[in-house]
Chains A and B, each alone.
Chain A
């Protein structure tokens, strides 16, 4: 066997107990309320006496966030972990970084692990930048001497020299993120566990962070990296692990893993291809969420094939237990390699899909989907407009754009790039009989 293995997970599983609220009737009788409250109080007392966790709700369900996950990581591997929301990626990282313990199975780890599940963990707004560097460094596992040695480097990387003695609460969010990432980037553990933290800062800074990650990976360190960005993953990672519903569905090279992931996303709804996503039958834990997404044509009939530059309506159903007048619905389209092409969001000043609690829908009508033929991923979300995301369903489904039959849409000899842009060429017209050969021929 290989002596180079630094992480070995065997039959790893993590179970959570979640509670469900009973269907609440419209009109409640006082007697029912009293009985229910008494029942719940009785159950809570019994739970506490048995030392169990109090779960609110009237029925319980066991939920396996991870089930029977086994894999090995060798020294120097850069492992990318991909999977849709709720596939168990974060749970896996939390187990590996010792934040939570597995419910079954075991992991053996050789070497010092540092985990970076969030940028700026433990930053204190009242403390200055300088003080926060020491605080955050210590929290991430650096020694004081180590931080002192790298202090200047960290400050230079974050570009905050002038504000070192200003409390962090006066920082702009950009500065905040830069400082936090700078500290994290100077960690030097044997094994680095990174959750999607690169989705921060401006493009310039993201590039810098990627460069730093590349450097870390190049030093022969072992890195486990979760991301939704396939381009980043394929650039950085040598191996890929695909999770789906808590299980490993692929453990291979990064390219093969991305393909497996793409296939998984594409084939999940083969029975009714116009329904990209449907969880209307599932009782949700969250208060507000997207429950269904379907594709329709302009007569509101199901639509499956989308020609390049054709029209389409995305009908997004949302369910909420409370009214959200400032709620907005988001739809985004990206390429299979992970580049976002377009992102649309409703503005609550004009449309308020959640004026009342209950199930509602909004239609995102696209008159001309200016995309080249190919496969695209759709994500939808619900947000508190301009404040925060409430629900985000990543890559709920794929849209297959077919070649258009419209003669006005002319393709190039070798199509490249995802966009169809309305354009025309002006120049020397070709003779009617034959094409002009280039100079030198």
Chain B
């Protein structure tokens, strides 16, 4: 009887212990403006009170590219992918790697960094880590412009495969969001996880084919190497950008896709399961 009086015409919100949101994804859509403004805030604030500002987004990848090209190509004498100049190959691998590592480091600390919001206002919590990922996309856009400048400098023309690049950008974002959501939610409960991120970023740079082509990995290991989801993403980027002989290793690519999907499912479901207690723990 009491049900009827409350639910006659308007949407009734029921708060109960352990109650799952029925309209989880619709709720998130309703908060899209907050998502946009939080993303804008993170972007606007990122280079405030820095002397060279956005130039940081240019210098970091440029120097990394120079160092990697010198170390891996000149000193270690590793081969490039087909005909592509080594610098371009490194840069094409660095794009998704920086996207991944920036999303991971920005998003994993985002919940704890916005503790005051979480304790004082309600909104779907997933907005915080995902809007902080937009910062990484802005840096990514700058980097991709740099890549085109670099390609023009070397006189290297991309092929039709470039048209498929957006799909791989989406893949890179999804591959980053899975672990990012998992770690940011775990970080609320166990602050140990913020110490894990620098590790992942530091080791991952060498464990992933950023400075070298994944073709140099012995073929017996190549399939299992793709358990690292970034391997598939980087290979995909190189396939799009370098064209020609940069071949996609299909079994490994699908293994990477499965790992990306698994991590994303794990991240989202763990996040959803724990987000209702964030305010009590943070």
Contact = CB atoms under 8 A, between A and B. Distances in A.
B281 interface: yes
B121 A127 contact: no
A298 interface: no
B197 interface: no
Contacts of B1: 1
Contact of B44 (A102, A113, A131, A143): A131
Given A54-B190, A138-B33, A97 B122 contact: yes
Contact of B276 (A101, A109, A135): A101
B280 interface: yes
Contacts of A101: 15-19, 276-277
Contacts of A140: 121
Contacts of A272: none
A109 B15 contact: yes
Residue of B5, B38, B116, B279 with highest tally of chain A CB at under 10 A:
B5
A109 B119 contact: no
B121 A110 contact: no
Contacts of A131: 41, 44
A107 B189 contact: no
Interface stretch (B6-14, B52-60, B139-147): B6-14
Contacts of B137: none
Contacts of B280: 16, 100
Nearest to A109: B13
Contacts of B19: 101
Given A5-B5, A122-B117, A100 B13 contact: no
B12 A110 contact: yes
Nearest to B3: A108
Nearest to A95: B15
Interface string A88-132: 000000111111111111111111010101100110101100010
Contacts of A43: none
A126 B7 CA distance: 44
B126 interface: no
B22 interface: no
B77 interface: no
Nearest to B6: A108
Given A99-B279, A107-B14, A2 B5 contact: yes
A208 interface: no
A105 B277 CA distance: 16
A53 B122 contact: no
B51 interface: no
A48 interface: yes
B75 interface: no
A100 B277 contact: yes
B48 interface: yes
A108 B16 CA distance: 9
B118 interface: yes
A53 B189 contact: yes
Contacts of B12: 108-110
B16 A106 contact: yes
A80 to B, nearest CB: 21
B184 to A, nearest CB: 16
Contact of A98 (B17, B49, B116, B122): B122
Contacts of A8: 2, 6
Nearest to A91: B280
A108 B14 CA distance: 4
Contacts of B277: 100-101
A140 B33 CA distance: 12
B120 interface: yes
Contacts of B116: 118, 121-122
Contacts of B48: 126
A89 to B, nearest CB: 15
B45 interface: yes
Interface of B: 1-2, 5-8, 10-19, 33-34, 37-38, 41, 44-45, 48-49, 116-123, 189-190, 276-277, 279-281
Given A110-B10, A113-B13, A121-B121, 8 more contacts: A96-B15, A100-B279, A101-B277, A102-B17, A108-B15, A110-B13, A117-B121, A141-B121
Interface of A: 1-3, 5, 8, 16, 48, 53-54, 94-111, 113, 115, 117-118, 121-122, 124, 126-127, 131, 134-135, 138-141, 143-144
